[in-house]
Amino acid sequence: MTKGERLYEGKAKILYATDDPDLVIQEFKDDATAFNAKKRGQIAGKGRCNNEISTILFRHLESEGVATHFVRRLSEREMLVKKVEIIPIEVTVRNVAAGGISKRLGIAEGVVFAEPVVEYHLKDDALGDPLINDEHIRVLNLAPPSEVELLRSLALEVNRILSAFFLDRGLRLIDFKLEFGRHRDEILLADEISPDTCRLWDAESGERLDKDRFRRDLGQVEEAYLEVLRRASP
């Protein structure tokens, strides 16, 4: 597979064209950002960890019937993925109060929700990825109602599968953010699933093993990512 021109560079990944117009190479960076990129830094080895963790989780989800953009892992930092048109809606699923929802609604971190809470955010770095609802989605013409319902259904299915996967490995899936893309006539789970996009707490101690260690200057960030990789690995 020939690596071609750079198509896009985001905060955590770079996309490159290949000699197949239907496929792109997704490269994971060590760069880390928080608070809408107001805080920046690097986490040594993050790109390798997130590539490996995402590979494991995409394969597991595919085995459970969830269609993803993942094709195969190419190297320590690169995976081959199907080229998709990203839907500009970030779907967040929250099982336990933490982060943004605690700040917005005054809910103490650690409160377990009776059922998962699904939120939508407009994918727009310049606006700070604001929280939006179904009416905003309709007015902005981001996606038809049937597609939004599909995103919600897929996100909840991913939550069911990954909550069980992580709990078997001594981790609680607190919340996570997903992105989806259109590929031909199909909606595919895209982007990544990693400690960058998930909150993961040790099931016994409650220790945070995710990007909150970077956000909150808790230290041992690299060790947390490596621990998630160790537990997720077959």
pLDDT one-digit tens code per residue, 78-106: 999 999 999 999 999 999 999 999 999 99
Helix ranges (DSSP H) in the chain: 46-63, 100-105, 134-139, 145-167, 212-215, 221-232
Residue among 90, 117, 49, 101 at smallest CA distance from 191: 90
Q: What is the pLDDT of residues 115-158, one digit of tens each?
A: 999 999 999 989 999 999 999 999 999 999 999 999 999 999 99
Question: CATH 3.30.200.20 region(s) of the chain?
Answer: 3-82
Query: Is residue 19's pLDDT more than 70?
Result: yes
Segment 195-220 shows an average pLDDT of 97
What is the rounded CA–CA span in Å between residue 120 and residue 207? 27
Segment 2-7 shows an average pLDDT of 95
| CATH label, 85-219, candidates 3.30.470.20, 3.90.950.10, 3.10.180.10, 3.40.50.10420 | 3.30.470.20
Which CATH number is 3-82 given?
3.30.200.20
Mean pLDDT of the chain: 96
- Residue 33: the pLDDT is 82
- Residue 35: the pLDDT is 74
Question: CATH 3.30.470.20 region(s) of the chain?
Answer: 85-219
Q: Whole-prediction pTM value? A: 0.95
